[in-house]
Amino acid sequence: MKKYLSIIVLIGIVFSGCKKENDPPVVTAPQNSSVEITETVNLSFSFNAPAGFKSATVTSTGGEAHIITDGTAGAASGTIVVAFTAGKATGAGSVVLTLTDNDSQTGNATAVLTIEGVPVISVSQNITSNTTWTAGNIYILEGRITVVSGATLTIEPGVIVKGREGSEANATALMIARGGKIMAEGTADAPIIFTSVSDNIIPGEIASPNLAPTMNGLWGGVIILGRAPISAESDAMQIEGIPASDLNGLYGGNDPADNSGVLKYISIRHGGANIGEGNEINGLTLGGVGSGTVIENIEIVANQDDGIEWFGGTVNVKNVVVLNTGDDAIDTDQSWGGTLDNFIVINPGDECLELDGPEGTMVAKHTLKNGSCYAGDAQGLVDLDPNSNVDIDGMYFFGLKEGQDFDELPTVYECSFTNFEVTLPAGKNISDFFKGGSDAFVTAVAAGANTKGANPEVFLGWTWTAVSGALNNF
């Protein structure tokens, strides 16, 4: 009898030392969903872990994933939130969440995603009624698209507009006619980009993934036309780059305060298509644009013709950077009567600044101030007519080479040139570049020691010029 009691006691001791195991954790994935390329979505996984939460890990395909809200240590249930950022390839994607409990048991679940391309919308007709181009989309200009009189085009931050290839009468462009309006208000976090269909860039990117910032002439450009005064053969002229048969190309009038809308945080790239011999489209053309128009934070990259050209008008413009133009970076004509404040010019093909005088009886003066010019391969620094009517204050020139000059001072109108600084090549004098008396208002400074010129900080982050490193010496 004692023998059996000993066995029973031993069995009891063995069983009393065994720990009852908990069920393994169960993880539940969210429902299948869709996401656009490069878009980030949050995925909520729920779990039950009788032994208590210990840790979680995540793996993914088609993009990158990381945990942004983890489980609570020891919790028997809860929610884990995973952020998934899709890659640039369309197709299937997945996120696998694996949970480990305090018994070192694991459970997992897979969230399945469909990665879709960015919506691409073709624009083939003029804009004749109020229209909005929506953030997250790419819009393709299939030809010369005009916002006609009475219509407003609103472009939301982050939109990318791409122009088809084309030349001569088929050159693509976005044109705002007199009486039309554009409300294109990008932000430093989401600039609006105008480029070519050959550019593989998508919303959220700043630098082109496949085109160099020297490639030009792939489409037209942006043209804004208004009813402000111009100095020309008549009060209304046909803008260059647009065939005479298109009457939407007329500009000029008698309303100095004319309002064509708003351009903010805009980058215009790879344009300047040729419509005929010597007749290209500028990156941004401003014809008779009035002072009611707001234009600021503008980038022009790799335009085959000029970066920005004014034809009369009264609009004020600030914070401009122009990189790698085939012709002039800044060009003014027909008695533009506004101010350009804080601008950077880098490596134009012809002149850094071409500032022409009036062509008719109306005379207005424009002002340029706080500008920095890296001359690079430019043919010249500043080109003026005898009848140019301009004041320039606070300029800095560097990166000069033989043959570049400021060689003509206006003689018809009283102009003011003040606070110029230049960093000279070794062995050169100010008068080698600033001629005809223009050296009187220029001071030579050591490289990087300039006190005049533009503030480059306003271009950081949102411009391709800054991202490419082209502003590193400014």
CATH code, domain with 401: 2.160.20
Last residue of a domain, one of 116, 146, 162: 116
Sign of CA dihedral 159, 164, 167, 171: negative
User: Facing residues of 380 across strands?
Assistant: 351
Give the model's pLDDT for residue 12.
Answer: 42
What percent of the chain has a predicted confidence (pLDDT) above 70?
94
Residue ranges making up the domain that contains 35: 26-116
* 60: in domain: yes
Among 75, 455, 405, which residue's Cα sits nearest to residue 297?
A: 455
List pLDDT tens digits, range 375-418: 999 999 999 999 999 999 999 999 999 999 998 899 999 999 99
Structural contact between residues 194 and 158, judged by C-beta atoms closer than 8 angstroms: no
- Confidence label for 93 from pLDDT (cuts 50, 70 and 90): very high
Give mean pLDDT, residues 407-432.
Answer: 96
Q: Choose one of 77, 94, 116: the last residue of a domain.
A: 116
Q: Per-residue confidence at 2, pLDDT binned at 50, 70, 90?
A: very low
Per residue in 163-218, pLDDT (tens digit) is 999 767 678 999 999 999 999 999 999 999 999 999 999 999 999 999 999 999 99
What would the pLDDT profile of 310-351 be if each residue is shown by its tens digit? 999 999 999 999 999 999 999 999 999 999 999 999 999 999
Q: What is the pLDDT, as a whole number, of residue 19? A: 53
Question: Phi-psi bin for 461: left (phi > 0), alpha (psi -120 to 50), beta?
Answer: left
Domain identity same for 90 and 128: no
Q: How confident is the model at residue 242 (pLDDT cuts 50, 70, 90)?
A: confident
What average pLDDT does range 412-437 have in this prediction?
Answer: 96
Are 57 and 158 members of one domain?
A: no
Asked, for residue 21, whether it belongs to a domain, the answer is no
pLDDT tens digits, residue range 27-78? 999 999 999 998 999 999 999 999 999 999 999 999 999 999 999 999 999 9
Average predicted confidence (pLDDT) for the chain? 94
Average pLDDT on 414-434 reads: 97
* Residue 52 belongs to some domain of the structure: yes
The pLDDT score that the predictor gives to residue 277 is: 57
Q: 113: which 2 tokens?
A: 């995603």
- Report d(CA 185, CA 190) in Å as an integer: 9
Contact by Cβ (8 Å): 321, 347: no
pTM of the model: 0.87
Answer whether residue 9 shows pLDDT above 60: no
312 and 379 together in one domain: yes
In single-letter form, the type of residue at position 441 comes to F
Q: Bigger pLDDT: 278 or 405? A: 405
Strand ranges for 23-90 from DSSP E: 26-28, 33-36, 40-48, 53-61, 63-69, 77-86
Residue 278 has pLDDT above 90, yes or no: no
**Which uninterrupted H or E stretch holds 6?**
helix 2-16
Q: Give me the CATH number covering residue 53.
A: 2.60.40.10
84 and 154: one domain?
no
User: What is the pLDDT confidence band of residue 20, given thresholds at 50, 70 and 90?
Assistant: low
From 34-38, 137-141, 438-442, the region with the lowest mean pLDDT: 34-38
Asked if residue 112 and residue 173 are part of one domain, the reply reads: no
- 130 and 112 housed in the same domain: no
196 and 111 share a domain? no
Number of domains within the chain? 2
Contact 49, 99 (CB under 8 A): yes
- The whole-number pLDDT of residue 171 equals 84
pLDDT value at position 190? 98
**DSSP-based three-state secondary structure for 98:** strand
Question: What Rg value do the Cα atoms of the chain yield, rounded?
Answer: 31
Ramachandran category for residue 270: left, alpha or beta (phi over 0 → left; psi -120 to 50 → alpha): left
